[in-house]
Amino acid sequence: MTALDARTDTTTGLRFPEGFRWGTATAAYQIEGAAAEDGRTPSIWDTFSRTPGKVRNGDTGDIAADHYHRVDEDVELMRRLGVTDYRFSIAWPRVQPTGRGPAVRKGLDFYRRLVDRLLDAGIRPVATLYHWDLPQELEDAGGWPQRDTSYRFAEYAAIMADALGDRVATWTTLNEPWCAAFLGYGNGVHAPGRTSALASLRAAHHLNLAHGLAARTLRGALPGASEVSLTLNLHAVRPCSQAPEDLDAARRIDAVGNRVFLDPVFHGRLPEDLVRDTASVTDWSFVRDGDLSAAAAPIDSLGINYYSPSVVGAGSSESPSPWAGAERHVRFEPAPGPRTAMDWPVDANGLHELLIRLRDELPGVPLVITENGAAYDDYADPSGNVKDPERVAYLHAHLAAVHRALADGADVRGYFLWSLLDNFEWAYGYSKRFGIVHVDFATQRRTLKDSARWYAEVIARGGLAEA
């Protein structure tokens, strides 16, 4: 598959390369439910969501979309859509409740059953080891700011490779470590809810180390054809003007939003400007000899999660801030254009910008869009239909941007739509719906939205109907 395979055909529209992977994605805590069944113990998100005032309406993931009990139904939905791949995450406390020691058999059996159902349906399983649900006992011991958590994560990776390595071909170590580090430990809007710039930077480093240790563990335990990956929510950062102070604001956000992960993982180094920017917070002495080379363990692809761009200028941000070293120098400005129910701007050009940047900065690294989608206030009408034309327009524009990046030489191998199901949307609880399948949380009834039918047609066609 090459970029030359992506073409515009006047009769069939925008065609994607042969073998392009068409997927959808979910996360364990957002859909599984069964929070206390079969040996599962609390994660940091169980604790956080049960803390008054942390999650809208006091919602928790205790039941969520009840996927734990509805695996067969949900896999059948994916089969009907025609997806080639399904990206799911494994709940660490479901298989290793304390983050240490042996696995719980029933927890492993759940994921074995899910993977078997996917394979029976002709769907390729893509497993993510960490989508933010750290076992609470590990947080009680210090969490991601503590070095030991990185080693516990590598042990957990070994458990999962042994359990599923013969059937799962693609493994992602971490999903969006920026959110885990800077929203979880910096401004506290995500679990575990801590507010410390130092803790967020320590967490970022130990997540990088955990990724590298787990990647090497997986590489040693999996069949030779298996793929090891990492997913980052890279920020498409734009200065509000070309004034030097606004350009510097964009540089600062790029350092703590993007290069804090890109540089260690792909180049085995810390960004020098980030070290300068954060000198008042830390001297980075928690980085030990060998850590950065460990973080730079080779991977087979990079996952990109993209929703909207960021526009920044010189100024200051609210405190506590997730932007360690930048909070007193940067303000965020609203981007123009329509907005989603999350109040995020809709701008597919940002996705193209990121892909072209990565084409240039990481030559030879295959890219996969591992999350892209939008929340809108859709609902089932009296006839039982869920019409969501805004989501269809959003997805169409972003897939067109991916196609344009392919034509411009970016090595993009697949697209995973976020999300399969309406779910527990973190601090927003059940108030935001990203799914292409509507979930009535009172009855757990699933209903295909118009966007699901549209996506099924895109998959069947191998691209978009019109240029």
Catalytic residue numbers read 176, 371
Strands 412-418 and 21-25, by their bridges, are parallel
Question: What is the spatial distance between Cα 139 and Cα 149, in angstroms, rounded to a whole number?
Answer: 9
How many residues are listed for the chain in this entry? 467
Question: What is the spatial distance between Cα 311 and Cα 345, in angstroms, rounded to a whole number?
Answer: 10
Question: What is the spatial distance between Cα 121 and Cα 86, in angstroms, rounded to a whole number?
Answer: 11
Beta pairing partners, 25: 87, 418
Q: Which helix (H) or strand (E) holds 152?
A: helix 148-164
Q: Measured in whole angstroms, how far is the alpha carbon of residue 6 from the centre of its chain?
A: 25
Q: Which helix (H) or strand (E) holds 383?
A: none
Query: For helices 450-461 and 389-407, what crossing angle results, to 10°?
Result: 30
Question: What is the spatial distance between Cα 218 and Cα 303, in angstroms, rounded to a whole number?
Answer: 17
Q: Which residues lie below 8 Å from residue 390, measured CB to CB, with a gap of 6+?
A: 338, 340, 374, 376
Residue type, 120: D
**Phi, psi for residue 44 in degrees, rounded to 5:** -65, -30
Question: What is the spatial distance between Cα 228 and Cα 131, in angstroms, rounded to a whole number?
Answer: 16
Beta pairing partners, 94: none
- Quote the Cα angle for 430-62-43, to 5°: 105
